[in-house]
């Protein structure tokens, strides 16, 4: 199971493996999604992948980076008060968060 957090003030409809999943505005929902769909969701900037279980997806290599990037993007949002640029790597996000916390 994967937990997805809605960052918008509107409900968000997701396409889960078992059918549609609706996330309320600024809410969270759990469901099973393909790895490709999770990457698309991450790129949208409208949602953040909060956690990912062992059963989610097929490709084991892509799971840790999605989790790590999702957590770092959520941390950036908390620290900076705005969404990060989707093109930043995990290392760039860590540097920016650390720099802000050092101020």
Residues of the chain with pLDDT under 50: 52-64
Helix, coil or strand: residue 22: strand
Alpha carbon distance 23, 33 (integer Å): 14
Q: Are 50 and 38 in contact (CB under 8 A)?
A: no
Q: What is the structure's pLDDT at 1?
A: 82
Q: What is the DSSP letter of 101?
A: H
Q: What is the structure's pLDDT at 58?
A: 40
Q: What is the structure's pLDDT at 66?
A: 56
Helix 63-80 with 90-102: angle, nearest 10 deg: 30
* Annotated domain spans of the chain: 2-102
Helix or strand run (H / E) with residue 31: strand 28-31
Q: What is the structure's pLDDT at 42?
A: 82
Q: What is the structure's pLDDT at 50?
A: 79
Alpha carbon distance 78, 53 (integer Å): 23
The pTM (predicted TM-score) of the whole model is: 0.48
């Amino acid at each position: 199971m994967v937990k997805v957090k809605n960052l918008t003030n509107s409900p968000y409809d997701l396409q889960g493996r078992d059918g549609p999943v609706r996330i309320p505005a600024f809410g969270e929902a759990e469901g099973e999604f393909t790895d490709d769909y999770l990457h698309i969701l991450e790129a949208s900037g409208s949602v953040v992948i909060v956690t990912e279980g062992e059963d989610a997806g097929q490709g084991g290599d892509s799971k840790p980076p999605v989790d790590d990037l999702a957590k770092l993007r959520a941390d950036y949002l908390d620290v900076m008060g705005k969404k990060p640029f989707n093109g930043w790597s995990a290392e760039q996000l860590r540097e920016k968060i650390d720099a802000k916390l050092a101020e």
